[in-house]
Structure 1
Amino acid sequence: MREINSNRIDPAIKRLLSYATSEEKVDEEYSKYICSPNRKLYGGGINGEIISCIGIEIHNSSDGVIKHIAVLPKERGSGIGSSMIRFICKEYNLNFISAETDKDAVMFYTNFGFRVISLGEKYPGVERFLCEFEVK
């Protein structure tokens, strides 16, 4: 994993972020990683191709929030997402990590060991979930 901090967004990162947020918000979200000292974005690759990314916001010295996590569809299910979460927890020595997600990602977080709580229909027709994990 390497930190992504270029002022220009790499097309591969832009595509990955579009899986984790709406396409209209990708540039805005990316700029938050560049401008905010408590937000970090990391990319992971295979053979020079960026295939995954994870963005985190550190709230204090030991708590973090996953803002974005994405893996190319052809690489999903191979443990890359879990390894990115482990990397972030170790890199920042986190005690607690959380994420907000939709129904599509609930099983991923549950399988990792997150406690999942429904937030109800946060947007019209869209149920959202809070996922929380105590790092051991």
Structure 2
Amino acid sequence: MKEITLTMVNPTIKKLLSYATLEEKVDGEYKKYTCLPSRKLYSIEVNGDTVSCIGVEFLNAKEAVIKHIAVLPKERGKGIGSSMIRFLCKNYDIHSIFAETDKEAVNFYSKFGFQITSLGEKYPGVKRFLCEFKVQ
């Protein structure tokens, strides 16, 4: 896993981010990773191709929020998403990891061990969930 240095526009990372946020928000979110020191973006390469990314915001020394996590569709189901979360747990001295997600990703977080709390219909017609993981 490598930290991405965002000094220029990386179309592969922007494409991955589009799987994790609305298309119209990709440019703004990408820019936050270049400007905010509390945000870090990591990727995994397979055979020289970037296949996944995880974007994290560190709230403080002990808490982090997964802002974005994305894996190319053809690479899903291979444990890549879980390996990115394990990377965070191993490489940072954090006690809690949070994520807010939709119904589509709840099973992924639940299988990893996150506690899931419904936030209800946060946006019209869209149920959201808070996921929290206590790092051992």
2:65 match: 65
1:21 match: 21
Q: Is the 8 A contact 1:120 1:129 kept in 2?
A: yes
Q: Distance in 1 between matches of 2:89 and 2:130?
A: 18
1:104 match: 104
SS at match of 1:42: strand
Paired letter, 1:28: G
2:45 match: 45
1:124 match: 124
Deviations 1:78-135 (A, max 9, x none): 1000000010122212111000000000000000000000000011100000000000
> More displaced, 79-88 or 90-99?
90-99
Q: Report the aligned-residue RMSD.
A: 0.7
Once the 2 structures are TM-superposed, how far is the Cα of residue 4 of structure 1 from its aligned partner?
1.3
Runs of 5+ consecutive residues of structure 2 not aligned to the other structure: none
Aligned length in residues = 136
1:133 match: 133
Q: Is the 8 A contact 1:57 1:64 kept in 2?
A: yes
SS at match of 2:37: coil
TM-score (norm 2): 0.97
1:87 match: 87
Runs of 5+ consecutive residues of structure 1 not aligned to the other structure: none
Runs ≥4 in structure 1, deviation > 2 angstroms?
Answer: none
Q: Is the 8 A contact 1:5 1:33 kept in 2?
A: no
Percent identical among aligned pairs is 65
SS at match of 2:24: helix
Paired letter, 2:81: G
Paired letter, 1:22: L
Q: Distance in 2 between matches of 1:23 and 1:9?
A: 15
Q: Distance in 2 between matches of 1:115 and 1:126?
A: 20
SS at match of 2:59: strand
